[in-house]
């Protein structure tokens, strides 16, 4: 794996530098997630952005080497890990439609018999983690091993403080899990599932780590070592669900502004994929009212505008 420094001059680097300068001049950056106490103290003006190309070359600007709490970004990787194991059977337990409701909403589950709308709202992610747990015996450990391998960073780990903070404030997720269990859509004991889920969301990683880890989706399912995790069709499925559901109930606006498959997390990170070309990760912890990074969305908007790269 090649790690390029800021002294090198790959094609995207001038674009990233321009974006960083523009973001620095932007006054409003949103507010960090305050319902997870461990995230509330983050500086909303922090900013990092990295691009990873198909051969593992990675470069970035700003705080692109600073680890942050990945949160819901990890849902992409658990989805891929489970989809690669069980294939289309997964879609019998979780849908592929935008929810139109907040990511932790209980409302639709009762109307739809315990089947979550998509794998990126909390209910859907709990189902995916549950199914990966059944197949591996350690869903969070499987995720961490994957992220370490794809990023080339063996030091990646869970943040125990963040996991504990989420567990202490996890009543809504517990309610979602118990409700779906009542419909037979959860296999494991709910406390076991919640422990796996909170550990999964607590992974700390940098923009460089996550851009590299997401590059298998730009390579149509091929991992960094050349092995295949997903079929080309399955990689297309994951990218499609990212585009339509990856930024909570702001997915339409994100598709309109950015035009790439993307997945955000309330830690302030967003990953995005340019199929056949590269993967991107941007981080700035100030969020808008829908839980997406204000500076992160703006940076990706500028990236696709300046480069002309889009799926449209």
Count of helix runs (H) and strand runs (E) in the chain: 13, 8
Element (H, E) at 76: helix 74-86
- Backbone φ and ψ of 178, nearest 5°: -65, -40
CA torsion angle 125 127 128 132 (round to 10): 130
CA distance 124 to 246: 12
75 is catalytic: yes
Candidates 213, 250, 235; CA nearest to 311 is 235
256 is catalytic: no
Q: Which of 69, 72, 165, 293 is catalytic?
A: 72
Q: How many residues does the chain have?
A: 312
72 is catalytic: yes
197 is catalytic: yes
Is 89 buried (19+), middle (13-18) or exposed (0-12) by CB count in 10 A? Answer: exposed
Find out whether 40 and 32 touch, Cβ atoms under 8 Å: yes
CA distance 208 to 278: 12
CA distance 114 to 179: 7
Q: Which of 75, 127, 203, 264 is catalytic?
A: 75
Six-digit token string for 198:
């909170």
Specify the 3-state DSSP secondary structure of 94.
coil
Find out whether 99 and 245 touch, Cβ atoms under 8 Å: yes
Residue 228 DSSP class: B
266 is catalytic: yes
Q: Which of 190, 197, 273, 274 is catalytic?
A: 197
Q: Which of 76, 127, 162, 266 is catalytic?
A: 266
Q: Which of 46, 105, 128, 248 is catalytic?
A: 248
Active-site positions? 72, 75, 197, 248, 266
């Amino acid at each position: 794996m090649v790690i390029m420094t800021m002294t090198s001059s790959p094609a995207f680097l001038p674009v990233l530098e321009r974006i960083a300068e523009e973001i620095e001049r932007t006054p409003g950056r949103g507010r960090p997630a305050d319902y997870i106490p461990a995230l509330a103290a983050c500086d909303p003006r922090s900013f990092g952005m990295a691009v990873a190309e198909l051969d593992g070359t990675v470069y970035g600007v700003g705080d692109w080497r600073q680890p942050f709490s990945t949160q819901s970004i990890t849902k992409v990787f658990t989805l891929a890990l489970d989809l690669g194991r069980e294939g289309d059977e997964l879609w019998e337990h979780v849908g592929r439609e935008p929810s139109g409701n907040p990511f932790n909403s209980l409302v639709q589950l009762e109307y739809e018999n315990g089947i979550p709308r998509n794998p990126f709202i909390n209910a859907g992610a709990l189902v995916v983690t549950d199914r990966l747990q059944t197949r591996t015996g350690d869903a969070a450990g499987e995720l961490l091993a994957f992220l370490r391998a794809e990023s080339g960073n063996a030091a990646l780990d869970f943040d125990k403080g963040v996991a504990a903070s989420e567990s202490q404030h996890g009543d809504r997720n517990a309610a979602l899990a118990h409700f779906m269990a009542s419909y037979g859509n959860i296999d494991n004991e709910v406390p076991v599932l919640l422990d796996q889920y909170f550990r999964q969301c607590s992974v700390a990683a940098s923009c460089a780590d996550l851009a590299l880890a997401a590059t298998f989706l730009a390579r149509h399912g091929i991992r960094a070592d050349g092995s295949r995790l997903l079929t080309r069709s399955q990689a297309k499925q994951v990218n499609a669900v990212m585009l339509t559901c990856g930024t909570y109930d702001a997915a339409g606006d994100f598709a309109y502004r950015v035009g790439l498959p993307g997945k955000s997390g309330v830690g302030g990170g967003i990953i995005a994929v340019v199929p056949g070309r590269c993967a991107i990760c941007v981080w700035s912890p100030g969020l808008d009212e829908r839980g997406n990074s204000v500076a992160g969305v703006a940076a990706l908007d500028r990236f696709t505008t300046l480069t002309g790269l889009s799926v449209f």
